[in-house]
Amino acid sequence: MEGTTFHSGTGKTTQIGYVNRRNQKVLGTRGAPGNDYLQYSYKVECQHLKCKLVYGANGSDLYQRKCPRCQGGRPGLKY
């Protein structure tokens, strides 16, 4: 069930504040379903200064996620 506040997941890469090697920062989940099997969608922010896009991504993708706008990543999800 979807909530109104964002929270961390249980793994290292789903923690609020985690930044992956492509400079994408995890902002948390509200429990919205992702589009991969048994995944939640997480709010993510690109940390590149000229981009700063905020988008949704599956929890299973966070460790390697690329920004849809400035890195050619897949389109974002609802979060």
Query: DSSP character for 77?
Result: B
What predicted TM-score, i.e. pTM, was given to this entire model?
0.94
Domains identified in the chain, total number: 1
Q: pLDDT digits over 25-60, tens only?
A: 999 999 999 999 999 999 999 999 999 999 999 999
Instruction: Give residue 4's pLDDT.
Output: 87
Tally of CB atoms within 10 A around 43: 21
Helix (H) or strand (E) holding 60: none
Instruction: Give residue 63's pLDDT.
Output: 98
Whole-number average pLDDT of the chain:
96
Q: Which domain holds residue 29?
A: 1-79
Look at the chain and count its residues.
79
CA-to-CA distance for 32 and 8, rounded, in angstroms?
A: 13
